[in-house]
């Protein structure tokens, strides 16, 4: 009996060992399957995260307010490209996967809920799925499958740029500072005596919108956000005080370029402050912000001199400005200039059109002006010139088309020079300009009558690509231009036959050449020495355009929304 009992116990131990081994294998299988599922789910979540971030970056732009099919395709393509780069082999555009645009709400517990929408776009949701065997063991035997899914929601990070059109104004010389004093003084209704170095200091200073908000709060103007600052009516004297505080207040981020002395800038602002009145302006009429998230652009730098000039013209309205320049051109001509600023210049901060969209929503413009320059000249005491050059300039513009960030930030803009119309008349009755032969008896013999009616056709858009190295803030502002000027354009009109000249009532080739040789150089000299510098200070470059990129941002700093 003892030997038989011993054999029975040996069989029980063997059976228990088999069961234990089977349980160990089962637990190992469960552990391996659980680990495998966790790894696949983690990889899938990474795919969804990267796809949502890529789609959020592509979703911004002018098309964000509508349901453009092209825009939707680009968003899905961006998400798919990012997903494939992270090992995803499916199609996010095919169910049960999804790429959706919409908005979200956050409950009291901090849980965010996504709501699809084609009109209100604040976020993008990506749902990525992958079908895998439910088990490495049972799946191989019974062919059981399970669908894993990962969901990610990212904020639409609309990139933006701040830019203006016109002259960099950083190289203002003594003559140009006199023009600016004359121009701004008459706009503000006072006398200015700023030096070229003062204007260069203002031109080389940038302030941020956040600086202006803080300075506005310090002045108790109740502008606690960028949106409130843009919409609040502010007296011009208060506006100048805000600019002064933005430059000098501790903790502000005003950027002084090229070693500009802060005290110099403060002194120039103090003199301007004593010259302004209480006319109200809105910063939103000066600075065009098209970014739907105004807080995202709070750190954008804005040029101080451009702000001052634009605010002055906005406050002045459409008033006529007379500039008695009193310039004597080589002792031959007395010149006077009158100017009317029909539309002030505009600075712009906003989003690009976006890839595949040809309609821009962020546009910076130059001033639209009318200039009348009268010339009275005596040439060698033998001939007199009596003419008035009328110049009407429609605003040139630059449109923000695309912002791409890789190893560098590339900002693409389309730039259009302003339309120009030139006419040449006399100073009395807008008849033909006249050249008279002076007699010793005090009379004048009409030698020639000249008419000029020459519109300059707007050139097609020139594409400018700003390649900005990182960090972006260290390499801005950056300017690109294409500029020929009025004088050079006007000199080309004669060769193209745009001058209509009557000599003693007859078109005589020899005298026609003599008159052309006299008048065209005179007009070219007038425009080169007077009109070109004046228009430059107004931000207007004829037959060309200058675009200054002030800042670039990626939009919302929050990528994924958890």
What pLDDT shows up at residue 169? 52
Tokens in use for 139? 């799946």
What pLDDT shows up at residue 280? 85
Check: CB of residue 127 under 8 Å from CB of residue 149: yes
What pLDDT shows up at residue 3? 59
Positions of the chain with pLDDT lower than 50, given as ranges = 65-67, 439-441, 492-497, 509-510
For 311-333, the DSSP string reads HHHHHHTT-EEEEEEEEEETTTE
Going by the DSSP 8-state scheme, the letter that residue 525 receives in this structure is H
Phi, psi of 217 (to 5 degrees): -65, -40
Q: Which of 102, 200, 199 is nearest to 153 (CA)?
A: 102
What pLDDT shows up at residue 290? 75
Check: CB of residue 118 under 8 Å from CB of residue 101: yes
Spatial distance between the Cα atoms of 43 and 53, rounded to a whole number of angstroms: 15
Q: Which of 335, 348, 350, 264 is nearest to 534 (CA)?
A: 335
pTM beyond cutoff 0.95: no
């Amino acid at each position: 009996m003892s030997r038989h009992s011993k054999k029975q116990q040996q069989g029980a131990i063997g059976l228990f060992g088999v069961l234990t081994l089977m349980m160990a294998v089962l637990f190992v299988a469960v552990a391996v399957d659980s680990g495998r599922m966790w790894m696949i789910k983690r990889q899938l979540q990474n795919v969804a995260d990267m796809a949502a971030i890529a789609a959020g970056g592509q979703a911004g732009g002018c098309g964000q307010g509508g349901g453009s099919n092209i825009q939707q395709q680009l968003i899905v393509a961006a998400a798919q490209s990012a997903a494939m780069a992270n090992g995803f082999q499916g199609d996010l555009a095919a169910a049960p996967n999804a790429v959706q645009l919409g908005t979200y709400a956050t409950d009291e517990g901090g849980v965010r809920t996504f709501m699809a929408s084609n009109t209100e776009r604040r976020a993008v949701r990506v749902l990525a799925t992958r079908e895998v065997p439910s088990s490495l063991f049972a799946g191989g035997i019974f062919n059981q499958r399970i669908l894993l899914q990962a969901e990610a929601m990212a904020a639409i990070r609309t990139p933006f740029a701040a830019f203006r059109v016109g002259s960099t104004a950083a190289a203002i010389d003594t003559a140009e500072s006199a023009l600016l004093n004359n121009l701004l003084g008459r706009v503000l209704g006072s006398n200015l005596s700023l030096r070229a170095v003062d204007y260069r200091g203002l031109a080389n200073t940038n302030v941020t919108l956040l600086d202006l908000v803080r300075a506005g709060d310090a002045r108790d103007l109740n502008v606690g956000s960028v949106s409130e600052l843009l919409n609040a009516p502010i007296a011009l004297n208060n506006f100048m005080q805000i600019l002064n505080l933005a430059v000098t207040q501790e903790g502000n981020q005003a950027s002084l370029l090229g070693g500009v002395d802060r005290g110099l800038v403060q002194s120039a602002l103090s003199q301007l402050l004593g010259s302004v009145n209480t006319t109200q302006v809105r910063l939103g009429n000066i600075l065009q912000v098209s970014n739907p998230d105004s807080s995202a652009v709070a750190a954008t730098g804005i040029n101080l001199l451009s702000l001052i000039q634009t605010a002055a013209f906005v406050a002045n309205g459409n008033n006529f400005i007379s500039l008695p320049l009193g310039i004597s051109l080589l002792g031959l001509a007395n010149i006077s200039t009158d100017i009317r600023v029909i539309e002030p210049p505009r600075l712009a901060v906003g989003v690009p059109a976006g890839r595949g969209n040809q309609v821009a929503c962020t546009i910076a413009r130059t001033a639209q002006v009318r200039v009348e320059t009268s010339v009275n000249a005596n040439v060698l005491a033998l001939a007199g010139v009596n003419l008035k050059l009328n110049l009407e300039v429609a605003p040139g513009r630059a449109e923000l088309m695309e912002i791409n960030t890789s190893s560098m930030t590339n900002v693409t803009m389309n730039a259009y020079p302003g339309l120009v119309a030139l006419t040449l008349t006399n100073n009395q009755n807008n008849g033909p300009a006249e050249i008279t032969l002076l007699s010793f008896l005090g009379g004048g013999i009409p030698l020639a009558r000249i008419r000029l009616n020459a519109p300059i056709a707007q050139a097609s858009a020139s594409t400018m690509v700003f390649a900005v190295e990182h960090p972006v803030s260290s390499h801005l502002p950056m300017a690109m231009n294409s500029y020929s000027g009025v004088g050079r354009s006007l000199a080309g009109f004669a060769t193209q036959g745009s001058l209509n000249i009557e000599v003693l009532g007859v078109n005589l080739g020899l005298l026609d050449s003599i008159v052309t040789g006299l008048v065209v150089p005179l007009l070219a000299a007038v425009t080169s020495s007077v009109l070109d510098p004046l228009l430059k200070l107004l931000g207007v470059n004829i037959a060309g355009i200058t675009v200054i990129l002030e800042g670039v941002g990626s939009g919302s700093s929050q990528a994924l929304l958890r």
